[in-house]
Amino acid sequence: MNVKSKELKVKVLLLITGSIAAVRIPLLVSQLVKDNYEIKCVVSENAEKLIQPLSLSILSRNNCILDKDQWSYLHSRPLHIDLCEWADVLIIAPLTATTLSKWVTGNADGLISSILIANNKPIIVAPAMNSKMWSNKAVQRNYVYLKDYPNVLILKPSKGILACDEIGVGKIPPNDLIQLALKFLLLQNKKPYYRDLLNKEFLITGGCTSENIDAARKITNNSSGTMGLMLAQVARFRGAKVKYIHGPLKNKLDITEGINTYEIDNSNDLIQEIEKEISKCDYFIMNAAVADFKISGDTSKKIPKSKFEDFLNKNIEYVPDILKEISKVKKENQIFVGFCAFTGSFKSAKKSIKEKIMLKGCDLLFANPIDIEDQGFGSLAKNEGWLFDKKNMENYLEKTSKIELANNLIDEIISTKK
């Protein structure tokens, strides 16, 4: 059976240059094709030495384009112009120091550099090089120039073990993150991509907290941290400085790169970290699902079942409402946003949701159902909900992907401050 979709596909032009990280690109091509993108690969002369163009042709279902093809008599129009016009979005992965230098200095001596200079479409940039090269003053100068280019979304190189066997910053960003950035750019509906949140700071919490009952048991919940992570990455893609405080992340996506993350375990850790950061932020989004109860007694030993009920009765207590407490130190120019999960019908939950926004002292409260299949806690797919403010505003944000919902929510949040 032919599984090829007849739907109109997004056209992605993938530019591959001569870093050892190029060996990871065939897997990215395969993943993008499975996600129903149409892919054309352009391979530099040096990248040809690292990966087989034939493999990319087979995986992409399109002929792989080589640097020498720029001068082929088979093209009736300039190839670099044709490719730029064909593409909806471009990805350059990996981007080497040499190609970066050519790009920012206007050196169009090859097919890929000609494409970069002629392009006016959104482009995702995934640098990869040795950490000493990345930290070099000339490379950093070129990187700073590139950050100001319109339509350019830069994913910084990751930290890890490099090809020289050293640990440092220089690894190509994870494929999951490149795919997430691509989904984000497509939300712009062909509008120019720009960083509208430059010089803004977001403090975002997400995931679950857990409280030890004893040496073997915990009180926790099903929050995966995915929604908070999507909010953090969207804010970062839009130019903001982001701190993401989270419990254990339960999804398998490698998409934390590029944001400042801090993992916590319990409610005490969470509130302490929030208190350190809260005065610095313009926007505080309390997406973490905090466990409702904690134990006041000694939790270092396992409690026998015969004594468990009595132990709970004597030692269990409510966890303070963190958003309510933090809202007491809210500055006039800050926007605080809370989250509220509910089950059952929205109509029956509406009254208690409205009461919560006044009780918690936040500017906005987003209420989302968690008892619908493929939504809410743990879901990587979709979500929906209602956004409230203190003035009886009630906006329904329709069911969509979590990355799109995060983008829509941030639109609503920043409009509150205007």
Q: Distance (Å, rounded) from C-alpha 161 to C-alpha 169?
A: 9
The amino acid occupying position 299 is T
3-state secondary structure the chain: CCCCCCCCCCEEEEEECCCHHHHHHHHHHHHHHHCCCEEEEEECCCHHHCCCHHHHHHHHCCCCEEHHHHHCCCCCCCHHHHHHHHCCEEEEEEECHHHHHHHHHCCCCCHHHHHHHHCCCCEEEEECCCHHHHCCHHHHHHHHHHHCCCCEEECCCEEEECCCCCEEEEECCCHHHHHHHHHHHHCCCCCCCCCCCCCCEEEEEECECCEECCCCCEECCCCCCHHHHHHHHHHHHCCCEEEEEECCCCCCCCCCCCCEEEECCCHHHHHHHHHHHHHHCCEEEECCECCCEEECCCCCCCCCHHHHHHHHHHHEEECCCHHHHHHCCCCCCCEEEEEEEECCCHHHHHHHHHHHHHHHCCCEEEEEECCCCCECCCCCCEEEEEEEECCCCEEEEEEEEHHHHHHHHHHHHHHHCC
Instruction: Walk me through the domains of the chain, giving residue ranges and CATH numbers.
Output: 11-186 (3.40.50.1950), 201-416 (3.40.50.10300)
pLDDT of residue 194: 79
Other residues' Cβ atoms within 10 Å of the Cβ of residue 137: 7
Listed in sequence order, the residues at least 6 apart from 350 whose beta carbon sits closer than 8 Å to its beta carbon are 386
Contacting residues for 343 by C-beta, under 8 A, at least 6 apart:
349, 369, 370, 371
Q: Which residues are catalytic?
A: 164
pTM: 0.92
Summarize the annotated binding site for CTP as residue ranges.
292, 302, 320-323, 339, 356, 360
pLDDT, position 373: 74
18-to-101, 284, 379 alpha-carbon distances in Å? 14, 41, 38
Would you list which residues are annotated within the binding site? 292, 302, 320-323, 339, 356, 360
Residues across the chain: 418
Dist CA 356 CA 372 (whole Å):
22
Q: How far apart are CA 217 and CA 214, in angstroms?
A: 5
Q: What CA–CA distances, in Å, run from 323 to 135, 331, 367, 376?
A: 40, 14, 15, 20
Quickly tell me which residue has 């990215």 as its tokens.
28
What pLDDT does 409 receive? 96
| Tens digit of each residue's pLDDT, the chain (418 residues) | 455 555 678 999 999 999 999 999 999 999 999 999 999 999 999 999 999 999 999 999 999 999 999 888 777 789 999 999 999 999 999 999 999 999 999 999 999 999 999 999 999 999 999 999 999 999 999 999 999 998 999 999 999 888 888 899 999 999 999 999 999 999 976 566 778 999 999 999 999 999 999 999 999 998 889 999 999 999 999 999 999 999 988 776 788 888 999 999 999 999 999 999 999 999 999 999 999 999 998 899 999 999 999 999 999 999 999 999 999 999 999 999 999 989 888 888 888 888 999 999 999 999 998 888 776 665 566 889 999 998 888 999 999 999 999 999 999 999 987 5
